[in-house]
Structure 1
Amino acid sequence: MLPWVVRRTRLPLLSLRCVDCRSTSATTGAGRFRVNANGKLLDVWLLVRCVSCDRTIKITVYERTPVRSFDPAELRGYRVNDPELVAATLLDPLLARRNRFALDWAGAWRLDIPSAWVDEGWPVQVDVVFEDPVPIRPDWLIAHGLGISRSEVLRRVKCDIALRRPTISGFTFTVMAGD
């Protein structure tokens, strides 16, 4: 079984409307949090900026949350703008739904394929692993990885999931010999 890995190359852009210029793209840049204390309650925001006008937009992570409910390591991560915490926060689907934004993964990922796979005999079984939740149609990913058309993928590939529906989780497929 050959391993294919889908890896993030950078954080995805956010599809989020800017109140100033009406652009729909924003970026986290280097990734910064803002933590604001009000007595024993904390607000935490992820700061993003509009790609067009550079306006800062606050994405609410926590609102009026008691300080005691935070794990000390997590709170320290917010204060020092930990890059892994920025990524984990941004990729949280509940945060995206609550703040009404979607992630734009165009150009933010790559597919790593072992170079010696051509030496394998037919049929070839491949296991695809996602390191981050990049939504990709399996037929497109397989066509891209094998260098064949999507119609040929539909003819030659046997898969354990629907090929035409985007997925964010790993799957396995088998490539049959060509005609």
Structure 2
Amino acid sequence: MNCRSESATTGEGRFRVNANGKLLDVWLLVRCVSCDRTSKLTVHERAQVRSFDPAELHGYHNNDPELVASRLLDPLLARRSRFTLDWTGAWRLDTPPAWLDQAWPVQVEVVFDAPVPVRPERLIAQGLGLSRHEALRRIKCDTPLRRPTSAGFTFTVTARD
């Protein structure tokens, strides 16, 4: 960002494609939330036109929303462009209202609609209304609870002591 702000939005998710002979530059345009200036995140720099999948190139030209999302979620682009995404409020655990009435232990499957990275312990604690300490004590899970994941997983909730 030009003003050194850490808050940006993709707005409508637009790419800028610039051709120089047989080479292409592709940028994702972002707007600073603080100063309203537009900046460019380099997606491809001086890449051979032949190296692009035709569908991908079409997506860049047509500002494909799925392509915008996939580029924003690309950790290499984030590292190269020195940005991080703010996932605050981007996830929730939907539970049936009567899940407490079920026989213990209760097995729960977590499925993500979008690849939003979240720490399972935080998702589970907030979704089930437990403290994080109680969630760690009562949850059995094959996925590490304190390491962010964006892949689905299954966990088991044990009864209170």
Q: Secondary structure at the match of 1:43?
A: strand
Partner of 2:76: 94
Cα separation, 2, equivalents of 1:170 and 1:86: 22
Aligned-pair Cα RMSD in Å: 1.7
How far the C-alpha of 1:101 sits from its partner, in A, is: 1.2
Partner of 2:9: 27
Q: Secondary structure at the match of 2:26?
A: strand
The code of the aligned residue for 2:36 comes to D
Equivalent position to 2:55, from 67, 73, 91: 73
Q: Which has the higher strand share?
A: 1
How far the C-alpha of 1:88 sits from its partner, in A, is: 0.9
Q: Higher relative contact order at CA 8 Å, sep ≥6: structure 1 or structure 2? A: 1
The code of the aligned residue for 1:90 comes to L
* Preserved CA contact (<8 Å) 2:95 2:128: no
Number of aligned residue pairs: 161
How far the C-alpha of 1:115 sits from its partner, in A, is: 4.3
How far the C-alpha of 1:119 sits from its partner, in A, is: 4.2
Q: Deviations over 1:49-75 (max 9, x none)?
A: 100011111000111111111122111
TM-score by length of 2: 0.90
Residues 108-117 or 138-147, more deviating: 108-117
Alignment of 1:79-158 (within 5 A): 79-158=61-140
Q: Secondary structure at the match of 1:62?
A: strand
Cα separation, 2, equivalents of 1:38 and 1:135: 37
Q: Which runs of 5+ in 1 are unaligned?
A: 1-17
Q: Which runs of 5+ in 2 are unaligned?
A: none
* Preserved CA contact (<8 Å) 2:107 2:154: yes
Partner of 1:63: 45
The code of the aligned residue for 2:159 comes to A
Equivalent position to 1:173, from 143, 147, 155: 155
